[in-house]
Amino acid sequence: MSSNNYSFSKLIDGERVKNLMESFYKITGIPSTLIDLQGDILTLKDGAWIAAGWQDICTNFHRANENSLKNCIESDVTCSNNLSKGEEYSIYMCKNGLIDVAVPVYIDGNHVANLFTGQFLFEKPDIEFFRKQATKYGFNEEKYLKALSKVPVFSEEYLKEGITFLKDLASFIGETGLKQKKLQERNHELKDSENKFRSFTDGIVNGLVITRFGKIEYVNPGMCTLLKVTESDLMGKNLIDFMTISSREIAKHELYKLEERSADVKNTLELELVNSDGDVIVCELRTNVIELKGKVYGLSIFQDISERKEAERLVEESEIKYHTLFDNAAEGIFLLRKDKIIECNQQSLEIFGATGEDLIGSRPYNWSPERQEDGLKSKKKAMEYINAALEGESQSFEWLHMKMDGSKIFTIISLNRLKVGEEYILQAIIRDITPRKINELKLKKLTSDLKIRFKILKTMNELSEFVSSTELPLDQVFNKIVNELVNCLQYPQHASARIKIFGEVFLSKNFQKSNWELKSPIRVNAENMGSLKIFYPDKLPFKGEDPFLKEERYLINNLALKLGDFLENRQIKDELIHERDKLKSILDSMEDGVYICNPDYHLEYANPIILKQFGPINGKKCYEYLHNRTSVCPWCVNDEVFQGKTVKWECYSQKTGQTFDVLDTPLKNPDGSISKLEFSHDITLLKEYQKKLSHQKDILQTILDNAPIMIAYLDGDGNLTYFNKRFEEILGWSMQEIPQFNILKKMYPDHEYREYVIDFIKKSEGKWGYFKTKNRDGEIIDTSWSNVELIDGTNIGIGQDITERKKIESALRESEVKYRLIVENAQEGIWTIDSKGYTNFVNSTMADMLGYSVDEMIGKHLFSFMDDKNVELVKKEMDRIKSRVIKGQDFEFRCKNGGVIYTSLATTPLYNNNEYTGTLALVSDITHRKIADDEIKKSLKEKDVLLSEIHHRVKNNMQIISSLLNLQAIKIHDKEVIRFFRDTQTRVRAMAMIHEKLYESSDFAHISFSSYVNRLISQLFDSYAQDPSKIKLNLDIKDVNFNIETAIPLGLIINELVSNILKHAFPKESKGHVTIKLENFNGQNLLTVEDDGVGIPPEIDFKNSTTLGLELVNTLVEQIDGQIELDKSSGSKFTIEFNEIEYEERIS
């Protein structure tokens, strides 16, 4: 693999490309590699592939097996071949079942390699296919399918994004390779230049020497040959050492000026060199200065002119011989000084038919026509040849001369510069070639005629093919023919052409009509429709009867026939095109989508509706274009259509989200083939409307079915055609019975009454009418009916069963009578006021209660019956009275006689349409009860004082007991007995503290337990803790109140558990933590007492303990109806769950 003979692998940085591939694979999961055009994977110097992400299924299976490897190479070559056709990239399904993609790499316009990706799938793999593959190639199926599971699956959209990167990477590789190629080319050019220099200097016969300050730094082989020495004999020596003594001074002086770049240096010298044999060699020395890398060197070229010197001598000797030959030469010879003839030989006189006096002193162009055959002026052209020869360029050319008698002669002239002394003259040798030239002109004319005939025949063939195949408009066809026709004739610059057809005329450019014309008729369907003519001007020279060649006659006749056939075919084609355009115009203007596809699924036509919906076709197949699929649609009906069937179906497009009503029908083409013509009508909105309509219908039906009223539909004739479920439930008729008989007749048997009902429903205008209606069981029920008139003049009847309402109304009338009797005879006062507080009703009981008559109270304000204190109280409570029912509100009222009564009111606000209209109050006289309550309160206050004193005395007594125990303990020396006394003492103090709290409390039923526990724990720490600073107390007691029945046992429980902890949990004054928590969850109390000390020994069962403390705890827990649990996992943690014991009243 190479790019213009440069190895591709040497033009790229393989390591960098591999790193880019690996980064690309880590980001996208897409593998890649670099493969040459022969399908071989490129490698680094160590043999590693230039690849990344290569799948195990390929490396370990497909490319590791000789047979499956052929599929891999075939895939690589196929992708590469597709790319050679100019594709940007190629996608190929490898026969091994995986997708391969190739992107071309170009360097300097040459396709040199391919960047491959692949070894992935577009959809989940067909496991059965790969099972068969494993069997076919002898792979281990389990390992092969495991490798398959690692093959990634990408969407085509995702792959396209990856291909974009690979195209950029391919471009990067190409650009990098191009830069490397150009660098190698530059290195090659430098090396080639050096080789050329050496090849050039080595090939120079003359001696070449490069010196610096007179010392030789380079010599070529020619110089070595000249002096008969080797290169080493000369290098570093002084150049003048190899010259004769007479030449050394000249050379030394001139070479010094040369390196000093003096202006008067002589560039050419004649010097004498001495070779190793001692021979003297006469040389011509040419010198120059060259500059290399900022240094100045002298360049000297020695040319051995020994032979030339000898030749000059011989020339002088041969001068006499020359003049002898000059005068007797077989060709004419001129000697020219510039452009003037200074000498001529005898042969030149014979050629021109002139004398020496005629020629000498004249100029060559005097013996020439004004212009040469090519149209250039003879003088100007002659001077160009003369000047070139004078510059040392020998000239040889043909020339048209004129003899003395004016006749033309053709000659060949050779011009050469001769040096005569210090002057250059020209020698012109003249050869008369007139006979040969005449024969050449005849041959040229014959060749020209043959070319004209060939051009005519070629044009005839081209125009015939053009006429047979062109689709251009007629005017363009005819204009092209008349202009092309002229160009192929024997005299195109003079010819004109014309086509006259259907009354129109088409002329060639610069058309000129003349008498010389060649005409051929144009016939269409055997009728003469026009003519084709060509014209030549009258003055055109020709031989024969007219200027036209037989080939031109044949061309005109044949072209006229072709035009006739063309016009016949064009008429037929135009008719077909017209019909096609009509059909296309119809299809293009249709509001429905239309397209045509062939049996290969390629779209041949799509109207604007389709193009608007799905975009440009771009050569796609129908399933690609319409459904974004890569294979034929499962629902495709093409097979049926191409068998001649017309298929109507409904299609949903995933691409546009639209639904179409589709009609597919076969379309026969002029060549007999069948295409599919599809009409697609967008019914998306219709589907949505149908869905909405169905939904609305369902909603309406649901409303009708669940409506709490009867709904019946009456047609224009008053016939019942529909009713809802409520109608069926109330009247018992079903919809199935409508066709069987007239239900209205059953409901209203009397004809006049039925007509009255129907007429009312039709004209009720939203009013309700009341009717007696007969149900299916023959029962007469009360109904009310109204109507809704529809836009088509029909009516919907809306009815209610009011039988129960009628009964209620009757019952209400009876109830009203009873209500009045109850109100007037009620034992409680009934009082209603309006929204402003004025009395609008009182019963006689209320009036009697205040010593007024009913009439005296009506119209008076509520505040008229209260003192100022109660008025203010009512004003404060008025917002509450207006908003909700209030029971048990106590008020004082003033009686008519000035006395006061105590009452208890139950008030109810009255509203009408959400507007407050007043208040209804039931008033009870509680004057006697109020007096009794005051007496009881006075008695209770006296008892509270007594109870407080009792608690105080109990507390004092317990303090006395504690002091007695303390005094007794002082006289006892038994530690166990002392411990017993102290425990008892703390228990007494715990109970005494409860009574102290009750004494200090205003509420004897409850005490604040939080402050009690704080004080209790403080005393326990003082009594039992050896070093309180080492034990950290965490106390979390919520602010709760307990009655005495709960507080005393709970206090004793805390006393026992905490004292036990302080005595046993932290031996030898060790540090620790004690936590006491009391909280309430959903009405349930939870007490937690825990420590992180040594804990209770595992052998002790605390619920069956014989120790007094734990036994007392269990007893007290049962007393407060609680549950106790012990957690020994870390120290000891007692958890007690209990409810507060109901308080028992002590005073009755």
Assess contact for 302 and 226: CB atoms under 8 A.
yes
Q: Which residues of the chain have pLDDT under 50?
A: 1-2, 263, 1146-1148
Alpha-carbon span 549 to 452, nearest angstrom:
10
Alpha-carbon span 929 to 866, nearest angstrom:
20
C-alpha dist (Å) from residue 1108 to 246, 635, 1134 = 152, 92, 17
- 701 Cβ neighbours under 8 A, 6+ residues apart: none
1103, two tokens: 């619920």
300, two tokens: 């000297």
CB neighbours of residue 154 within 10 Å: 19
870 alpha carbon, distance to own chain's centre: 81
Question: What pLDDT, in 10s, does the model give residues 807-857?
Answer: 887 777 776 666 676 677 777 888 999 988 999 999 888 898 899 998 999
| Residue among 522, 519, 494 at smallest CA distance from 509 | 494
Question: In DSSP terms, which residues pair with 340 in a beta bridge?
Answer: 337
* pLDDT of res. 986: 72
* pLDDT of res. 1089: 93
* Tokens 């591709």 found at: 8
Alpha-carbon span 736 to 76, nearest angstrom:
76
Alpha-carbon span 890 to 870, nearest angstrom:
10
Name the DSSP letter for residue 1144.
Answer: P
* pLDDT of res. 536: 86
Assess contact for 954 and 994: CB atoms under 8 A.
no
Domains of the chain plus CATH, in order, are 2-187 (3.30.450), 204-308 (3.30.450.20), 324-439 (3.30.450.20), 454-573 (3.30.450.40), 592-687 (3.30.450.20), 707-806 (3.30.450.20), 826-925 (3.30.450.20), 935-1138 (3.30.565.10)
436, two tokens: 């040969």
Alpha-carbon span 1087 to 1053, nearest angstrom:
10
- The secondary structure of 767-796, three-state, reads CCEEEEEECCCCCEEEEEEEEEECCCCCEE
Long-range Cβ pairs for the range 611-620 (8 Å, 24+) = 613/656, 613/658, 614/655, 614/656
Residue type, 505: V
Which bin fits 468, alpha (ψ -120 to 50), beta or left (φ > 0)?
alpha
* pLDDT of res. 712: 87
Residue type, 1078: L
Helix or strand run (H / E) with residue 892: strand 886-894
* pLDDT of res. 1147: 42
Sign of CA dihedral 220, 221, 222, 226: positive
429, two tokens: 């040798």
Alpha-carbon span 932 to 1143, nearest angstrom:
25
Helices 1009-1024 and 1044-1064 pack at an angle, to 10 degrees, of: 30
* Tokens 């097979």 found at: 639
Sheet architecture: strand order including 829-834: 839-842, 829-834, 915-925, 900-912, 886-894
CA trace torsion 621, 622, 628, 630 (10° rounding) = -50
Q: Collapsing DSSP states into helix, strand and coil, what is residue 100?
A: strand
Stated length of the chain: 1148
| Residue among 617, 612, 577, 580 at smallest CA distance from 593 | 612
* pLDDT of res. 1137: 92
438, two tokens: 């005449």
- The secondary structure of 1051-1086, three-state, reads HHHHHHHHHHHHHHCCHHHCCEEEEEEEEEECCEEE
398, two tokens: 């043909």
Using alpha carbons only, give the angle 394, 400, 402 rounded to the nearest 5 degrees.
120
CB neighbours of residue 226 within 10 Å: 21
| Residue among 516, 519, 546, 552 at smallest CA distance from 533 | 519
112 alpha carbon, distance to own chain's centre: 33
- Alpha-carbon Rg for the chain, nearest whole angstrom, is 67
* pLDDT of res. 379: 92
* pLDDT of res. 1: 47
Assess contact for 263 and 177: CB atoms under 8 A.
no
* Tokens 């975009």 found at: 615
User: What is the residue-wise DSSP string for 119-173?
Assistant: EEBSS---HHHHHHHHHHHT--HHHHHHHHHTS-B--HHHHHHHHHHHHHHHHHH
* pLDDT of res. 413: 92
Assess contact for 516 and 538: CB atoms under 8 A.
yes
68, two tokens: 């499956």
Assess contact for 1000 and 970: CB atoms under 8 A.
no
Alpha-carbon span 403 to 640, nearest angstrom:
95
* Tokens 């040096």 found at: 419
Q: Collapsing DSSP states into helix, strand and coil, what is residue 748?
A: coil
Helices 141-149 and 127-137 pack at an angle, to 10 degrees, of: 140
Residue type, 11: L
Alpha-carbon span 862 to 920, nearest angstrom:
12
Which bin fits 381, alpha (ψ -120 to 50), beta or left (φ > 0)?
alpha
Residue type, 335: L
Alpha-carbon span 206 to 1116, nearest angstrom:
139
CA trace torsion 396, 402, 403, 406 (10° rounding) = 170
HSE value, Cβ hemisphere, 13 Å, CA-based, for 518: 26
Alpha-carbon span 270 to 789, nearest angstrom:
137
* pLDDT of res. 1107: 76
| Residue spans of alpha helices (H) in 1075-1125 | 1108-1119
Residue type, 523: R
444, two tokens: 């040229």
Residue type, 806: K
